[in-house]
Chains A and B, each alone.
Chain A
Amino acid sequence: MKNKQVLSKFLISMATTAVILAGCGNSKAGNESEENESEENAASSSKESVELLNVSYDPTRELYEEFNKEFAAHWKKETGQNVTIQQSHGGSGKQGRAVIDGLEADVVTLALAGDIDEVAKAGLTAEDWQTRLDDNSTPYTSTIVFLVRKGNPKHIKDWGDLAKKGVSVITPNPKTSGGARWNYLAAWAYGDKKFSGDEKKIKTFVGDIYKNVEVLDSGARGATTTFVERGIGDVLIAWENEAFLSLNELGKDQFEIVVPSISILAEPPVAVVDKVAKKKGTEKVAEAYLEYLYSKKGQEIAAENYYRPRDKEVLAKYADQFPKINLVTIDDDFGGWKTAQEKHFNDGGTFDEIYQPK
């Protein structure tokens, strides 16, 4: 009896192995047929349904969940085609790497131009991608603000307060989190104004802030969780949209937003990944997807998710939501991403110097 049972179990496992082998064959066949279909689609563009993969960074989940539904309806109305959009979220750098390594994203919507530059460098999209859409290919922007505990017990008003002794700061690691690089640069911009460009003093100032950092999470969401859920730190340096989201999702009675005197215009850009879209035959819908971000509806959704819309009218409508801040930009004040990346975040850059003084 017992032997038979074990025997049958073993046979089952053998059978499963056979199924796998068969399955491998099938999946290959499946891919091939898909390829054929997509060729057809490219030729006639009359396929019934199409799939898009949007590879994005951490804090855009809610935005794109809403936007995808809206776009699917819009596309159905326009072309009669069903479009399903898959989302993938993670740290911006990690996501950029995944796309380079072969994650077949039709569009990338990352935290900073530098990450899409890497995708372009790998030959997946055109080097001039950032000029293909309006406003630096950035349909919505944000900025960096502070989230503090209710009543602001440490009286944090501006960047200078973050460098004071006894203030515990939470921000993600700029090395791993694209979003966190904006945080770093915003602090740098304040130091730049305050010490009128004296680099040594700016370094000391930014260094003092980062010495107050208690937990350096690897991603923006991790940092928010540390601050909000674990109750660690007096202030979280966060994107405006993340700060609003935590306020609304996790408790208005527990936190307050503090707007610093100076901050940076954070531009999370978007791009079609040409090589993949071409292969899948989804160029048209991918382009339409990104362009729809610039439409009134797309801009409204961005504003509702606390991103600052580019559209003046929509921005005016949501003016109460977004306080006026003196904003520096990456291109005017830091000479573009490439320069900023090399100077501050590459190995041996100013960020590394904080932890390993030269």
Chain B
Amino acid sequence: MAGHVPLSYGSRKTVKKAAEEPLFIRVFLTVVAFIFLFLFLVLPLAAIFIKAFEQGIHVYLAAITEPDALAAIKLTLLVVLLTVPVNALFGIAAAWAITKFDFKGKSLLTTIIDLPFAVSPVIAGLVFVLLFSTHGLFGDLLFANDIKIIFAIPGIVIATLFVTLPFVARELIPLMQSQGSSEEEASLTLGAGGWKTFWLVTLPNIKWGLLYGIILCNARTVGEFGAVSVVSGHIRGLTNTMPLHIEILYNEYQFSAAFAVASLMSILAIVTLIFKNMIEWKANQHG
């Protein structure tokens, strides 16, 4: 997972020449890195926006204000609202258990937390079909009680929960590990209760890492395609998230509209990244 990387802008003048590359190598390396990033990042991004505006601003605005698009946007936001807090809560609990205590099977537990990251999204969708479909483990129970999970919003939420599960925990575990528990111990020794210690000591210490994890989790929630595609049912205006809506538009030959919604998602991604950078910067400042 993407690490927590504060950039340092310290003066480099003190560094001895011997430990630096000659200018032409520096320029060469920078240029190569630029070309690579240009081909793989800038061009695709540019393609999305140019394609989106190909038929003019009217088509663009129409595409993102059309009822089905709005429904997709709303559903996506709803899914974010439901999954991110739950996974944040899980991340805190898991990190607390793993970093503050020593117990057997800890490394296995960490591996299991990582598992959703390495599992193919297709499989992630499939397992919930196996659980909740009419032939699944809970199929009869659900059908009898008329509870819809798969091909309805709960299914999308659950699949997204699965896919985005590791992110907050993954950010917090190394952070809390490096911080140790001496501050909490001091607080407890001084007579503060468990919750109070958590609120007043631990949480302020981990807040930037927590926010960072939440942002990663959020980004992935918005963009998840494979797993959601398996469990959604693709009912227009009801169970289509933004990525699925893009696929539909694309399949209806409405290429500009598809790219318009895609550009909206790219803007969302960029805003997320800016937010992330701000947090890194803040975290850096506060040490």
Contact = CB atoms under 8 A, between A and B. Distances in A.
A326 B154 CA distance: 50
Given A3-B204, A7-B199, A102 B234 contact: no
Interface string B134-172: 111001001100111011001000000000000000000
Given A86-B235, A87-B235, A225-B253, A101 B203 contact: no
Contact of A101 (B82, B84, B134, B146): B134
B79 to A, nearest CB: 11
Contact of B233 (A13, A20, A103): A103
Interface string A336-347: 000000000000
A229 B51 CA distance: 12
A207 to B, nearest CB: 29
A249 interface: yes
A155 to B, nearest CB: 27
A53 interface: yes
Contact of B234 (A16, A20, A90, A222): A90
A27 B82 CA distance: 14
Contact of A89 (B86, B210, B234): B234
B133 A101 contact: yes
Nearest to A17: B85
Interface in B100-150: 129, 132-136, 139, 142-143, 146-148, 150
A43 interface: no
Given A31-B147, A61-B252, A100 B135 contact: yes
Contacts of A98: 151, 233-234
Nearest to B198: A10
B89 A14 contact: yes
B151 A103 contact: yes
Contacts of B132: 102
Contacts of A199: none
Given A13-B89, A61-B252, A88-B236, A104 B151 contact: yes
Contact of A6 (B82, B89, B207, B234): B207
B121 to A, nearest CB: 16
Interface string B214-252: 000000000000000000011111100000000010111
Interface residues of A, number: 45
Given A101-B134, A250-B253, A31 B235 contact: no
Contacts of A6: 203-204, 207, 210-211
Interface in A139-181: none
Contacts of B151: 98, 101-104
A250 B252 CA distance: 11
Interface string A279-306: 1000000000000000000000000000
Given A6-B203, A16-B81, A58-B251, A87 B154 contact: no
Contact of A221 (B84, B134, B207, B251): B251
A353 interface: no
A222 B250 CA distance: 9
A98 B132 CA distance: 12
A34 to B, nearest CB: 8
A20 B86 contact: yes
A96 interface: no
B82 A229 contact: no
B73 interface: no
A58 B235 CA distance: 13
Contacts of B234: 88-90, 98
B237 A86 contact: yes
Interface in B264-287: none
Contacts of B251: 58, 89, 219, 221-222, 225
A2 B132 CA distance: 43
A101 B236 CA distance: 19
B173 interface: no
B200 A3 contact: yes
A200 interface: no
A133 B133 CA distance: 29
B238 A86 contact: yes
A198 interface: no
Interface string A90-106: 10000000101111100
A-B complex: 10 closest residue pairs judged by Cβ atoms: A101-B133, A13-B85, A221-B251, A103-B151, A6-B207, A102-B134, A16-B85, A103-B233, A88-B234, A88-B235
8 contacts: A3-B204, A6-B211, A17-B86, A53-B235, A87-B236, A98-B233, A102-B133, A102-B148
